[in-house]
Amino acid sequence: MNDMLVHGTAVKINDRGVLLRGKSGSGKSDLALILVDRGGTLISDDQVLLAETDGTLVMEPPTSLAGLLEVRGLGIVQVPYEASMHLDLIVDLRPRTDIERLPEKQFEEYHGIKIPKITLHAFEQSTPIKIELMLAKKNTVLDIDVLP
């Protein structure tokens, strides 16, 4: 296994792994808190170890951060966490003005494995729902029919 440390926050949602990336203050931890409140499980906050295992990317928390989540205004809190989860979706967090209304399908590659990627604004009320919508299909993230 060849580990890579990535700046981001990882959450498990319905047995799917999401990596939230963005600059400091972009809302990674805040969005993770909302996703956990909606039934998700924290994997790691602020830093995520990525490793390729049998053609799959696996996310794990660095030992020193396991179970810790920064909650702005409260401090560092301890929460239940998942020790390991495969990566299914990358969410880049950007200012609302940088979000395309009708984006093309995007991918990011780690360790030679292509992962679907979307760009969202962390502080929109619908962002957690959009992430859950992207993960709704069991077999593939990108074949979701949003409209009937």
**Catalytic residue among 46, 92, 117, 121, which?**
46
Q: Choose, from 101, 105, 138, 143, the residue flagged as catalytic.
A: 101
Nearest to 28 by CA among 57, 80, 71: 71
Task: Pick the closest to residue 93 from 140, 35, 37 (CA basis).
Answer: 35
> Quick check: is 121 catalytic?
no
Of the residues 7, 72, 96, 114, which is catalytic?
Answer: 7
Q: Is 137 a catalytic residue?
A: no
Q: Does the annotation count 28 as an active-site position?
A: yes
Calculated CA dihedral for residues 23, 33, 6, 130, nearest 10 degrees = -80
Whole-angstrom Cα distance, residue 31 to residue 29?
5
Whether 121 contacts 95, CB under 8 Å: yes
72 is known as an active-site residue:
no
The residue annotated as part of the active site, out of 28, 30, 88, 121, is 28
Question: Which residues are designated catalytic?
Answer: 7, 28, 46, 101
